[in-house]
Amino acid sequence: MRLTEAQLAVLEAASATDERPIDDLAADLGEKPETVTRIVFELEEEGLLEVSESEAVTLAATEEGREYADAGLPEVRLHRAAIEAGADEEPASMGAVIGRSGLEGPAVDIALSNYARKGYGTIDAGEITADPDADPDADPERLALEAVVDATADADEDRVDPPEGVDGDVLESLERRGLVDRSESTVRSVALSDAGVTALMEGIETAETVDRLTPELLTSGEWADVEFAEYNVEADAETATGGRKHILRQTADRVKDVLVGMGFREMEGPHADSEFWINDCLFMPQDHPARTHWDQFALDLPPMEQIPPDLLERVERAHREGWGEDGDGYHSPWTEDVARAIDLRGHTTSLSMRHLSGFALGDLEPPRRFFSVEKVYRNDTLDPTHLLEFFQIEGWVMAEDLSVRDLMGTFEEFYRQFGITDVQFKPHYNPYTEPSFELFGRHPETDELIEIGNSGMFREEVLGPLGVECDVMAWGLALERLLMLMYGFDDIRDVHGTLCDLELLRETEVVR
Ligand SMILES: N[C@@H](Cc1ccccc1)C(=O)O
């Protein structure tokens, strides 16, 4: 019998009497588990090794689990406080008992939802009773949780085998409560087969095999004489995760395709822009809270010079005196300094202003449709649905005699392409549109209505100074919200930024 040296080493490390996990063999041989796995399969095919598989479960206490192991399960703490308050004699006030227990925030709900389930007592109409016979020291979840935490500390490992004597159902409920994390993996163990024992006794010749063709082998001509290792396409291998386009970008590309398909043309323009294009053109008074309603990021840059003077004059006039016969304007302070100051744009409606005014591409004749899918910046508080920057799907249609039905129809057509067929509209206020509508969609997982966009028909005070004589309907939709509706994410930070969920980003398919 002839084997490679590596094969022989694995065969010799295997035992006829003891099944040994592949990881142990690999550790003994100083090889990578993947390499040993490949060789094990080769030897199994030769009939020299027998491979068996088993499922191994390991456990780890979560952060919350460790907290409770330390401070006590919330329901146990509640019971203790209830006993102290005499609730084993007669019902006590729930507020007082909670106060005494020291439980706060979500821990209160957790305590309440487990209290009766575990027979610690009853909760009814603001009163709580405690069952004097309940024994928190024997609470199976508590004991199991402590056993996992202790075993982890003893072993000085993150994950441990399930501690002995812990019931499967109890572990399951700890897992459901998010206190213990359970993971399963397949462990392969090997033992020498009879043929393997015989082969070793009869003696094995070794031959070096080559597992890759190198330039040296080619130039020396040695390749003709060496023995090549065979490929085993069934062997386990490490998953290779290469780079890929972020799903947000992929979805942005798809949105662009859809809008181009609907006859729209893409707008481009600066991320840092003058307040003139960001706010003044939109008839947002300079002293109005609306100017800070996006909590804009002001930049320490020289003021913008190249604003068309006649346009600047008309916009100023609209602010001061109004526009059209009945117009009245704001009579509020207005200065060029403010208009020329540079901010990070809080919306891409600045691009719509640049285009509608003729500044970007020259005067435009109706009908025209434009869009952009670009980043905007707002000084918001970070939370599951707000980021400091996000992508806005900006768009507008310029045509004679547009109505709200055109606006709604456009959204219905647009969102339908993404499988969203139940967009809802709510009347809204923007200083620059009248009427205005917020758009809502239903989150597929939480079933909540979430805001997905803002829209309306530009007012005369906006269009007049820009020199536009027909109707313009316009909108800004949030790309991230569209993503949430499409894929069911409920935290934007899963897809963005330092907390993002790499697995989810790797696995989510964006269908084109
Ligand atoms: N600028 C608005 C969106 C919008 C654009 C155009 C018209 C109406 C609304 C926003 O950021 O929310």
ipTM of this complex prediction, to 2 decimal places:
0.98
Structural domain range at position 480: 249-507
Mean pLDDT of 391-398: 97
Beta strands 205-206 and 2-3 are: parallel
C-alpha count within 13 angstroms, C-beta hemisphere, residue 447: 0
Question: Does 464 score more than 60 pLDDT?
Answer: yes
Encode pLDDT of 105-163 as tens digits.
Answer: 889 999 998 999 999 999 988 899 999 999 999 999 999 999 999 998 888 888 888 88
Q: Is the minimum distance from the CB of 474 to ligand 1 under 6 angstroms? A: yes
Question: Does 511 score more than 90 pLDDT?
Answer: no
Say if 378 falls within a structural domain.
Answer: yes
Residue nearest to atom 12 of ligand 1 (CA): 454
pLDDT of residue 499: 81
Distance CA 116, CA 128 (A): 10
Distance CA 41, CA 237 (A): 12
Say if 161 falls within a structural domain.
Answer: no
Encode pLDDT of 210-253 as tens digits.
Answer: 888 999 999 999 888 888 877 777 767 777 888 888 999 999 99
DSSP string, 220-246: HSGGGTSEEPPP-TTS--PPP------
Say if 199 falls within a structural domain.
Answer: no
Q: Is the minimum distance from the CB of 456 to ligand 1 under 6 angstroms? A: yes
Beta strands 180-192 and 49-61 are: antiparallel
pLDDT of residue 376: 95
What is the rounded radius of gyration, in angstroms, for the C-alpha atoms of the chain? Answer: 34
Question: Does 209 score more than 80 pLDDT?
Answer: no
Distance CA 93, CA 463 (A): 63
Q: Residue 437 C-alpha to ligand 1 middle, in angstroms? A: 10
Q: Using 50, 70 and 90 to split pLDDT, how confident is the model at 389?
A: confident
- Choose the residue to mutate in 425, 430, 462 for probing ligand 1, maximizing ligand atoms within 8 Å of C-beta: 430
The values of phi and psi at residue 434, to 5°, are -160, 115
Please indicate, yes or no, whether the overall pTM of this predicted structure exceeds 0.80.
no
Domain count for the chain: 1
Beta strands 389-399 and 368-377 are: antiparallel
Peptide bond connecting 444 to the previous residue in cis, omega within 30 degrees of 0: no
pLDDT of residue 492: 81
Distance CA 112, CA 98 (A): 10
Q: Which amino acid is at 221?
A: G
Starting at the edge strand found earlier in the chain, the sheet holding 265-266 runs 265-266, 368-377, 389-399, 471-478, 449-458, 433-442, 424-430
Per-chain mean pLDDT for the chain? 91
Say if 351 falls within a structural domain.
Answer: yes
- Choose the residue to mutate in 267, 282, 349, 404 for probing ligand 1, maximizing ligand atoms within 8 Å of C-beta: 349
Encode pLDDT of 280-315 as tens digits.
Answer: 999 999 987 756 655 788 999 999 999 999 999 999
Question: Does 278 score more than 70 pLDDT?
Answer: yes
Where is the binding site for L-phenylalanine, in residues? Answer: 349, 392-394, 432, 458
Mean pLDDT of 505-510: 81
Q: Residue 476 C-alpha to ligand 1 middle, in angstroms? A: 4
What burial class does residue 306 get, using C-beta atoms within 10 Å of its C-beta: 0-12 exposed, 13-18 middle, 19+ buried? exposed
Looking at ligand 1, which atom is closest to the CA of residue 376? 11
Q: Tell me the two tokens of residue 364.
A: 């435009």
pLDDT of residue 191: 96
Q: Residue 283 C-alpha to ligand 1 middle, in angstroms? A: 13
- Choose the residue to mutate in 280, 347, 411, 480 for probing ligand 1, maximizing ligand atoms within 8 Å of C-beta: 347
Q: Which amino acid is at 383?
A: D
Q: Using 50, 70 and 90 to split pLDDT, how confident is the model at 506?
A: confident
Q: Is the minimum distance from the CB of 372 to ligand 1 under 6 angstroms? A: no
Question: Does 207 score more than 80 pLDDT?
Answer: no
CB-CB neighbours of 491 under 10 Å: 14
Residue nearest to atom 8 of ligand 1 (CA): 455
Residue nearest to atom 11 of ligand 1 (CA): 347
pLDDT of residue 292: 65
Say if 464 falls within a structural domain.
Answer: yes
CATH of the domain at 436: 3.30.930.10
pLDDT of residue 293: 52
CA proximity to 369, closest of 468, 251, 477, 267: 267
Where is the binding site, in residues? Answer: 349, 392-394, 432, 434, 458
Residues 482 and 491: beta-carbon distance below 8 Å: no
Say if 131 falls within a structural domain.
Answer: no
Q: Is the minimum distance from the CB of 433 to ligand 1 under 6 angstroms? A: yes
pLDDT of residue 165: 84
Distance CA 149, CA 66 (A): 7
Beta strands 92-93 and 20-21 are: unpaired
Q: Using 50, 70 and 90 to split pLDDT, how confident is the model at 189?
A: very high
Q: Residue 326 C-alpha to ligand 1 middle, in angstroms? A: 25
Distance CA 440, CA 257 (A): 23
